[in-house]
Amino acid sequence: MNKIEVCVVGLGYIGLPTALILAANGTKVIGVDKNIEVVTKLKNDEITFDEDGLSQLLVQAKEKGIRFVSECQAAEMYIIAVPTPYVRESKKIDATLLVAAVESVLRVCQDNAIIIIESTVSPGTIEKYIKPLIGKKRVNIAHAPERIIPGRMMVELKCNNRIIGADDDDVAEKVRELYSTFCDGEIIKTSIRNAEMSKVVENTYRDINIAFANELTKICNEAGLDVHEIIKIANMHPRVNILSPGPGVGGHCISVDPWFLVGDYPGLANLILTARRINDSMPEYVLSKARELMELGNIDDYSRVGVYGITYKENVDDIRESPTIQLLESQKNHMAPCLKCYDPMLRKKIIPSQVMDFDEFLREIDIVILMVAHKHIIDNQERIRGKVILDTRNCLSGIPTFHL
């Protein structure tokens, strides 16, 4: 029997691991990205972002014959994994990249091909933007929203339960068969609209729960209580599980998807909107806490304050919607010179005030605002002992620190 040929369009944080795991498990895969640099790197056996197990998976996929190209090709199935940002003013989805990707597929695909959209979309997007593109073509659409978490992608690709949204059971079954080649989790079949909504709901749920922890931080601070102690005690109740407060919510998912509901259901998405605002207020809150610490320690030289961690969370090299970048922006809005910052996960300088060497960073600062709990700082905590440390992640346990 001939193997199915799958074309994965968009080789970013989701498309690349998905293309590789499919190929490694025996599917014939063509990986497509319009960015020639990405394609060239992959052809040269280089991965394009850091993730545990990704380079090994690239080797396995290459052995099984995966190909990387920059133009969409004829195939039986397509997986689309392109970014779906939101429009800052209206909060509605910006489907431009998604529409362009589907159009590029429609130009080359065979009759009866299945186009699976993995990109997260606002509920109703497929009906509104994708179905009209198809017109009279005999092409099927499915929605299989990705659910993997950066930092544990390899494990979660294999183990997470998956949702397959399709309006035709034969199509759903074909997609289920494809995903079951690598996914050990349960594969749930539902409608396209249910799949769209459930994915956005998952990330919104997490955003709201992080916002609750962040709001508690502000309340406990005002009350002179240690929020971490309160959360630890409350979480000992069998039905309470409060998340961790922090310097804000970053990443391309949790800080974006709830806006889709706010944009499409203004007036109804009130809790969701409030949660977004609380999480977005955290970088500014960190700055005010750092300012208090400076006053307490009679320090007034801003050039001696350093920010540790630029990525949006620990042990990844992804800076999208990063709370540190929001903090630096907010500082800029107050016309303050950019604070020195350092991140061991970033090999390229992306911020003018970024220091690339840890020793140099330590020499130049007396106050550390710890924004990201990278393993690197936990392993090196003794090296910052003696400095004034604002540990926004509550991740250091062996040395004296201040908390949010």
Under rule CB under 6 A, residue 217 binds ligand SAJ: no
Interaction of residue 119 with ligand SAJ, rule CB under 6 A: no
Q: Which of 220, 253, 341, 395 is catalytic?
A: 253
Q: Do 256 and 87 form a contact (C-beta atoms < 8 A)?
A: no
When binding is defined by CB under 6 A, the residue of 33, 51, 118, 146 that contacts ligand SAJ is 146
Instruction: Report the nearest approach of ligand SAJ to the CB of residue 135 (Å).
Output: 30
Q: Quick one: DSSP state of residue 371?
A: -
220 catalytic? Reply is no
List residues bridging with 142 in a β-sheet.
116, 166
Q: Closest Cα partner for 320 from 89, 84, 125?
A: 84
Beta strands 162-166 and 139-143 are antiparallel
- Rounded Cα distance between 124 and 28, Å, is 31
| Residue 364 contacts ligand SAJ per CB under 6 A | no
How far apart are CB 147 and ligand SAJ at their closest, in Å?
Answer: 4
Angle among Cα 22, 26, 32 to the nearest 5 degrees reads 45
Least distance to ligand SAJ from the beta carbon of 282, Å? Answer: 8
Question: Which member of 4, 32, 171, 249 binds ligand SAJ (CB under 6 A)?
Answer: 249
Binder of ligand SAJ out of 203, 331, 392, 401 (CB under 6 A) = 203
Total number of residues binding ligand SAJ (CB under 6 A)? 20
Lay out the site mask for ligand SAJ across 219-248 (x = CB under 6 A, - = otherwise).
------------------------xx-x--
Asked if residue 306 lies in contact with residue 340, where contact means CB atoms within 8 angstroms, the answer is yes
Question: CA 263, CA 84: separation in Å to the nearest integer?
Answer: 14
Q: In angstroms, give the least distance from the CB of 287 to ligand SAJ.
A: 17
- Which of 179, 259, 312, 361: binder of ligand SAJ (CB under 6 A)? 312
Is 95 or 171 the residue whose CB approaches ligand SAJ more closely? 95
Task: Please report whether residue 250 would count as binding ligand SAJ according to CB under 6 A.
Answer: yes
Q: What is the maximum alpha-carbon separation in the chain?
A: 75
Query: Active-site residue 332, yes or no?
Result: no
- Unique residue bearing structure tokens 């959360």: 231
Q: Toward ligand SAJ, which CB reaches closer, 312 or 361? A: 312
**How many Å apart are CA 144 and CA 163, to the nearest integer?**
6
Which two structure tokens, joined as six digits, stand for 201?
């709901």
- Is residue 149 a contact point for ligand SAJ (CB under 6 A)? yes
Taking CB under 6 A as the rule, does residue 183 contact ligand SAJ? no
Say which residues have a Cβ less than 8 Å from residue 335's Cβ, sequence separation at least 6. Answer: none
DSSP bridge partners of 354: 341
What residue ranges bind ligand SAJ (CB under 6 A)? 120, 146-150, 202-203, 206, 210, 243-244, 246, 249-251, 253-254, 312-313
